[in-house]
Structure 1
Amino acid sequence: MGTATLLITAKLIAWLMTDSSSLLASLTDSFMDVSASIINLLAIRYALAPADEEHKFGHGKAESLAGLIQSAFISGSALLLVMHGISSLLKQDPILRLEAGIWVSVGSIVLTLALVGFQQFVVARTGSVAIKADMLHYRSDLLLNGGVLLALVLAGQGWFWADGLFAVLIGLFLLWGALTIGYESVQALLDRQLPEEEQARIISLCCQVPGVHGVHDLRTRQSGPTRFVQLHLELDDQLPLVKAHQIADEAELAVRQAFERTDVIIHMDPISVVLKEQQGPPIEQQ
């Protein structure tokens, strides 16, 4: 939020001095940035709230809702930028005080690089959907600010059409990013499975526990920073209940140690029942 606010101030001053369409596009994007960051702050604080009587699975999906709201914000601003860019492209007015716009664009690139680096560190530690969406947005800002810088340089050489053209291209690029963020948020709200490599690792960890013959009916999803894992362990028929429970606890511990903030539910099946189900009904019944 601090970074976006600083960039808004600098870009607003530069736009008032230059009247550049591409700088206006970048300024509009920064307004969307600070709005999205405020939404993220509120959503993440709510998502981290512990489970209560009315929300037994926690509040993690607030992050995905924040991503969906971001997508709507960015889509609207992107369409406005495209329309403004087309208008500027038709007029091709000269840009005043190019130096101010160029220096602001360079400063924006440096600040955004630092912010993206920190966000990447946070996503690696937490897996936050909201921060990942924010990071994707700020990564697009690097290209956006680079495009603005190039547009200003070209306009300084007399190619006034470059300013409007880059505003249109930036708007289309932001629209594509917004659709991507919206798709990811919707998939999270629809309880999409965890990535295949994570599912394979969960199965492998459980199968490495002594006494486990196999795993089936694995179901996974993620809500905010928390993963939810449900699976069936295949165990020997004659195991005492205490021993079967001990094996299930070991499998649960292995998964929880491998993935932070993971809720695991395990059902235990006798191996003979699993084999019978796999074989299907007898031929005469088929």
Structure 2
Amino acid sequence: MTPHQQNSRLLRLATYASVATATLLIVAKLAAWLVTDAVSVLASLIDSLMDVGASVVNLLAVHWSLQPADKDHRFGHGKAEALAGLAQAAFIGGSALFLALHAVDRLVNPAPLSDIGVGIGVMLFAMAATGVLLVFQHRVIRATGSTAIRADALHYATDLATNSATLLALILAVLGWPGLDPLFALGIAVYIFYSAFQIAREAVDLLMDREIEEQHRQRIKALAFTVAGVRGVHGLRTRRSGHIAVIQLHLELDPDISLLEAHAISDRVEDVLHTAWPDADITIHQDPAGLELDQRGD
């Protein structure tokens, strides 16, 4: 199985696991909210409802982004992941607004809680299930660098935080402070808004072709110089298209070598770069060293 096929398989498994986990948690949290009437449990339920919506969008986006380039999309479909990230940010931001309004209403109109033990048990189960999913998602992120899965993992990390806050609110209610329940819900809403902003910012960076991280750019240059015959590197431009890195650079070579030799050196540089970024889309231009060169980029 090629690296691309392995990454594609991991991405699909991650999306299926995300949808299945969120659906399971919705059923459990809905039951807990109906039993306890705790607004903090409702907060966690709303978060899981948004998780399902976002995960389904993610599933479709990852499926689309993995489609090969065609005559209408010569650079592939990787930016579908960024569009999915923006959709997730909208889902999550909307859920935070709804939750904040409900928490304010509960502060103005307090209501008693009941069967809190059931809610505590469900929250513990939800935290365990979310934790298992996050471990798997981070494995996929390390392997693929997927923006869509990273966004999905971020809002599941948010879900873990909301579950923890909900659990604490329920425990405090047992100890005689039920009025803290809506306050915790408000705090969760603020945290969800912050998470939505992070997801949206990363998606916009991808859509706007932001350069990849500086340490990776420096590594690209260092790897190029490991190939015999490379005298300089300039004009480096990078971006991401979904989980694929796009790398463009100019190599400065001995002006007296043949075109065939220059091409062979470029091929070796490309092979070296592919050891670090197996799925990368790499374009290399050869320039004669010592002449006035195009200095766009670094």
- Answer yes or no: same fold by TM over 0.5: yes
Find the residue that maps to 1:272 and give its secondary structure. Answer: coil
Q: When the two structures are superposed, what TM-score results if normalisation uses the length of structure 2? A: 0.91
Match of 2:54 among 29, 32, 36: 36
| Post-superposition offset of 1:260 | 2.1
* 2:202 is the alignment partner of 1:193: no
* 2:216 is the alignment partner of 1:178: no
Residue aligning to 2:106: 88
| Post-superposition offset of 1:94 | 1.6
| Post-superposition offset of 1:92 | 2.7
Which amino acid counterpart does residue 9 of structure 1 have in structure 2? V
Whether the 8 Å CA contact 1:206–1:251 is kept in 2: the answer is yes
Instruction: Output one character per residue of 1:178-232: Cα deviation in whole Å (capped at 9) or x when no partner.
Output: 0010000001000000111111111011111101011001000000111111000
Instruction: Summarize the alignment of residues 117-132 of structure 1 with structure 2, pairs less than 5 Å apart.
Output: 117-132=135-150
Find the residue that maps to 1:273 and give its secondary structure. Answer: coil
Instruction: Output one character per residue of 1:98-141: Cα deviation in whole Å (capped at 9) or x when no partner.
Output: 01101000100100110000000010111110000011111111
Number of aligned residue pairs: 277
2:172 and 2:276 map into 1 onto residues whose CA distance is 52
RMSD: 1.1
Whether the 8 Å CA contact 1:66–1:130 is kept in 2: the answer is yes
Residue aligning to 1:68: 86
1:8 and 1:162 map into 2 onto residues whose CA distance is 23
Which amino acid counterpart does residue 45 of structure 1 have in structure 2? H
Which amino acid counterpart does residue 165 of structure 2 have in structure 1? G
1:45 and 1:260 map into 2 onto residues whose CA distance is 20
1:146 and 1:92 map into 2 onto residues whose CA distance is 22
| Post-superposition offset of 1:75 | 0.4
Structure 1 runs (4+) greater than 3 angstroms displaced: none
Residue aligning to 1:147: 165
1:240 and 1:58 map into 2 onto residues whose CA distance is 33
**Gapped regions of structure 1 (runs ≥ 5):** 279-286
Task: Between 24-33 and 150-159, report the one with greater CA deviation.
Answer: 150-159
Identity across matched positions, percent? 49
2:111 and 2:64 map into 1 onto residues whose CA distance is 47
Residue aligning to 1:51: 69
Q: When the two structures are superposed, what TM-score results if normalisation uses the length of structure 1? A: 0.95
**Gapped regions of structure 2 (runs ≥ 5):** 1-18
Residue aligning to 2:32: 14
Match of 1:160 among 170, 178, 181: 178
Whether the 8 Å CA contact 1:120–1:135 is kept in 2: the answer is yes
Instruction: Output one character per residue of 1:33-67: Cα deviation in whole Å (capped at 9) or x when no partner.
Output: 01111011100010000000000000000000000
Residue aligning to 2:263: 245
* 2:223 is the alignment partner of 1:205: yes
Match of 2:288 among 252, 270, 274: 270
Which amino acid counterpart does residue 36 of structure 2 have in structure 1? T
